[in-house]
Amino acid sequence: MRFLQLFAPLALILPAACGESRSGAVLAYYETYDPRSLDPALSTDVPTGEMATLVYDGLTQFDANGNLLPGLSDRWTAERDGRRYVFHLRPGVKFHDGRPFRAEDVRQSFLRVLSPATRGGRAWPLFPIAGAQAFAGGTAPEVAGIDVLGDTAVAFELVEPLAVFPRFLAMPVASIVPTPAPPDLAEHPVGTGPWRLVAWLHDDYLLFAKHPAYWGTAPAADTLSVRIIPEPLTQAAEFEAGRLSVVEIPFSETRKWEAEHPEWLQRKPALRITYVALNNRRGPLRDPRVRQAINHAVNVPEILRTIWGSRGIRARGAIPPTLPGGDTTRAAYDYDPTAAKRLLAAAGYPNGLALRLWRTGTNVALGRVCQAIQADLEKVGIRVEIVVRDASSQREAARKGVADMAILDWWADYPDGDNFLYPLFHSASFGPGGNYAFYSDPVTDSLILTARRTLDDATRTAQYREIDERVFRAAPWLYLWFPVDLWAKHPSVEGWEIPVIFTGQRWTGAQRAP
Amino acid sequence: MLGRRLLLTLPTLAGVLVVAFLLLNVVPGDPVSEMVGERADSATIARLRAELHLDDPLPVQFGHYVWGVVRGDLGRSYITGRPIAQDLAERFPKTLELALAAMTLAALCGITLGVLAAVGPGGAFDRLAMLVSYLGVSFPVYWVGLLLILLFAVALQWLPPSGSGGLAYLVLPALTLGMRSIAFLARMTRGAMIDVLRSDFIRTARAKGLSEAAVVGRHAFRNALIPVITVLGLDVGNYLTGSLLTETIFSWPGVGRYVLTAISKRDLPAIQGSILFMSVVFVLVNLLTDLLYAKADPRIAYD
């Protein structure tokens, strides 16, 4: 205690800075790195998407549980079996600068995202619109498929029927900006969303104020600050010091928080899957029996329990169980080293084989998972060398197909089974598109396309389940688990829940208790 | 003389440009891959590569870059689209603030500890000072930073855990960053002071009847300054180019974190621009250190 007293004079001089934010009128959130931009056309990552969601609206939007809600369009209809969509626009909406929202803004916003000059890089949610891809490639002067119907509606003609198209339009890249778009939109965004940007000090913080004329339920709080805090342990310290409203608990800290502050914790299954992509076009992994053997050889439930702190639901397919089409009853690959050895012998590897497993250096928890997988595979004669690289190098290797195996996770862009099938398993999505396993099966391809075209939800759900089952049996991955998110919420904060999708939390209901 | 020394720095900087450019081009990872995010189509990737001239031959790319630098244009970030010079100009003052605070702290504490230890070598204070400096050199910055946060921000709640703002925000990061310098300077000063205090002119000074304070403060200290300035100069150079670890732990919006983000995103122009900027700063600080030698010791002169 004497030691602490030495510093007592400091306490008299310095508490001002701590005191002001602790008094608690503001909501404080954080990102791990600075958003790319606040131009929604550049929204290709989570921090940028989350911040764009605060400032802008799309025609549709998601809530924290991933339900599709009306946005700037208050109702929409699918025509011609889902080949054409008509979105009726919400009347009386105003941008932050007072300009009224018009139908032409929708067309101009989408043209802007698609325009090669924007260099957005993530225009694919708009590619289903007829003519969009040609326009983006610079070979067409117009997008024929966008049809402005007077002041009250916009119609989209699609290349082919697409049941999930309204969900595509809830993604940040499809946000509506005013026409003409301000030249400095990236730094000084103007949207119709619940929050308007007040200040942005790069790498330090963003400050938002409530948009009082918001068309929906205006935010309960007046301001929202978003700090940029890269280090997870610092994030936790900021939360414990009362300077953040919520904090995500790192997997390695699960037990500590569960023991010390169970009353602060919230959990929710995420729309995310953790898996090991097995390169289906490379060496022994071309043989499905080898891939099935790997699934039998690794004791996934044990790894999930011991290393992952039981913060996950075992994957028996790629579609999360909280989405229609997800299946928790499907027969999993049992932990069965004997069966694994038998399969390896049948595939022509009675003496085992050697593979390389790529992981990122930053994700320590997944690193431990890799070691456990390595140990389990060793027991059936598969010698695994773990290759540690930074995220960018790992992704490049996986995309180019030079990695045997890569441990990865896949975050949903839109809450629908299609998001866990088309990008991950369709052969048109090889490499950068998301199919890092290079899984290719003409039957699966055609089933996926059929499901995308099916408007009826029940039929589509059944199709999703069938596709997921078919792919699961072919074992393009080592299936691991669907993580369960764990967050701590400050007891003084009300009206916030964990979003299942990163665009699902707009901070409108959140406030500090009086 | 100054002009000539400045001219001599140009080949150094040119070398830095070449090495940085070549290194970045052999490192795996693809900037366009980072620009398009997790789900992309090959057509978009190919178009972006072409627009950024990433498929041009290396000498052509290098020529473009050098031509820009010569005109004072560091280019724009691939990821954010912002001018890199502006990004650096926004962040450098924060790095400077932290560096100066750390340096002041290090100079005050380190030199004082060193001098006091040297006055009574082997005494209780000496042993304490050397213990402090051992610990300071041996503890990893990362660990000390987190420990300081836990103690002063979480347990005692006297200081904010991280971020930037007023003086309160500066204390913990400056202490973390300056810790190694404090330790190193204390050892350096102690060693140099003990050497000087043993020399003949000090005995003469004492024999003339000068007070001990005058002997130590005026005669011995000034003569012990040269190695101390060297260490300070090198450290300032390091601090001014941003401290990756300290800035990351304390969410400090400086140059170090900018580079770290740029590297993780393979933001080539941002990395190149930052390396060049850091090199300029480092070279200038070294130049300044050389000039300070001459101030401290009139026997050193440059012509």
DSSP 8-state class, residue B151: I
Judging contacts by C-beta atoms under 8 Å, the chain A residues touching residue B35 are: 44, 119, 121
What residues contact residue A403 under an 8 Å CB cut-off, 6+ apart? A277, A279, A356, A358, A387, A394, A397
Which stretch of DSSP H or E encloses residue A357? strand A353-360
Is A11 a residue whose pLDDT tops 90? no
Beta bridge partners of A199: A207
Q: Are A285 and A347 in contact (CB under 8 A)?
A: no
Contact at CB, A396 and B36, closer than 8 angstroms: no
Q: Is A243's CB within 8 Å of B160's CB? A: yes
Higher-pLDDT residue of A6 and A284 is A284
Residue with tokens 């007829």: A130
Q: How far is CA B261 from CA A321, B20, B34, B65, B278, in A?
A: 35, 17, 12, 21, 16
Using a CB–CB cutoff of 8 Å, tell me whether A273 touches chain B: no
Would you place residue A253 in the very low, low, confident or very high pLDDT band (cuts 50, 70, 90)?
Answer: confident
| Cα–Cα distance for residue pair A465/A33, rounded to 1 Å | 37
Smallest CA–CA separation between B235 and chain A, in Å?
24
Q: What's the one-letter identity of residue A136?
A: A
Task: Inform me whether the pLDDT recorded for A14 exceeds 60.
Answer: no
Place of tokens 């090198």: B234
- Region for A215 from its dihedrals, namely left if φ exceeds 0, alpha if ψ lies in -120 to 50, beta otherwise: alpha
Neighbours of B181 (CB within 10 A): 26
Residue in A236, A272, A305, A190 with CA at minimum distance from that of residue A483: A272
User: What digits encode the pLDDT tens for the residues A423-449?
Assistant: 999 999 999 999 999 999 999 999 999
Mean of the pLDDT values across residues A34-61?
A: 95
Chain A partners of B248 at a C-beta cutoff of 8 Å? 230-231
Contact B2, B265 (CB under 8 A): no
> pLDDT value at position A117?
87
Q: Which of B34, B158, B266 sits opposite A15 (nearest CB)?
A: B158
Q: How many other C-beta atoms lie within 10 A of the C-beta of residue A78?
A: 17
Tokens of A95: 């941008």
Chain A residues close to B37, C-beta within 8 Å: 44-45, 121-122
Are B163 and A397 inside 8 Å of each other by CB? no
Distance from the Cα of B158 to chain A's closest Cα (Å) equals 6
pLDDT for residue B9: 84
Write a three-state SS string for B7-24.
HHHHHHHHHHHHHHHHHH
Query: A310 at the B interface (CB within 8 A)?
Result: no
Q: From CA B279, how far away is CA B269, in angstroms rounded? A: 15
Residue B192 contacts by C-beta under 8 Å, 6 or more apart in sequence? Answer: B114, B224, B225, B226, B227, B228
Residues A42 and A52: their CA atoms lie apart, in Å, by 10
Give CA separation, A485 vs A251, A264, A268, A274, in Å.
9, 14, 5, 13
Q: Which of B185, B197, B182 is nearest to B119 (CA)?
A: B197
| Average pLDDT taken over every residue of chain B | 87
Check residues B226 and A107 and name the one with the higher pLDDT.
A107
Q: What is the mean pLDDT of chain A?
A: 92
Evaluate the CA torsion angle A404, A407, A412, A415 in order and state its sign.
Answer: positive
**In the predicted structure, residue B84 carries a pLDDT above the cut 60:** yes
Q: What is the mean pLDDT of residues A372-385?
A: 97
Give the ipTM.
Answer: 0.89
pLDDT classification of B135: cutoffs 50, 70, 90: confident
pLDDT band of A323, cuts 50, 70, 90: very high
Tell me if chain B has a CB within 8 Å of the CB of A409.
no
- Here the tokens at position A315 are 């994957």
Distance between CA atoms of residues A133 and A381, nearest Å: 48
Does residue A18 surpass a pLDDT of 70?
A: no
Partners of residue A314 on adjacent β-strands = A481
Residue B180, pLDDT score: 87
From CA A271, how far away is CA A319, in angstroms rounded?
9
Out of B51, B156, B261, whose CB is closest to A33?
Answer: B261
Phi-psi region of A205 (alpha: psi -120 to 50; beta: other; left: phi over 0): beta
C-alpha–C-alpha distance, residues A275 and B212, integer Å: 72
Mutation site, B87, B90, B105, B162, interface A, largest A CB count within 10 A: B162
Q: What is the third-level CATH fold of B84-296?
A: MetI-like fold (1.10.3720)
Residues 450-509 of A with CB under 8 A from B: none
- Please answer yes or no on whether B266 and A392 come within 8 Å at the CB atom: yes
B39-61 tens-digit pLDDT: 888 888 888 888 888 888 888 98
Confidence tier at B4 by pLDDT (50, 70, 90): confident
CB A173 within 8 A of CB A125: yes
Closest CA to B167 of B250, B269, B229, B98: B98
**Phi/psi of residue A348, nearest 5 degrees:** 100, 20
Query: Residue for token digits 């855990």?
Result: B161
Which residue from B29, B87, B250 is facing A393, i.e. has the nearest CB?
B29
Q: Is the pLDDT of residue A308 over 60?
A: yes
* Amino acid (1-letter code) at residue B35: M
Please enumerate in sequence order all residues whose Cβ is within 8 A of that of B208, keeping only pairs 6 or more positions apart, or say none: none
CA torsion sign for B33, B36, B38, B40 is negative
A21: Cβ–Cβ under 8 A, 6 or more apart, which residues?
A: A28, A242, A243, B160
Confidence of residue A25 (pLDDT cuts 50, 70, 90): low
Domain with CATH 1.10.3720.10 in chain B: 84-296
Alpha-carbon gap, residue B109 to A23, rounded angstroms: 35
**What is the model's pLDDT at position B242?**
64
How far CA B227 is from CA of B198, B220, B241, B297, in Å, comes to 17, 13, 22, 11
Q: How confident is the model at residue B301 (pLDDT cuts 50, 70, 90)?
A: low
Residue A212 contacts B, CB cutoff 8 Å: no
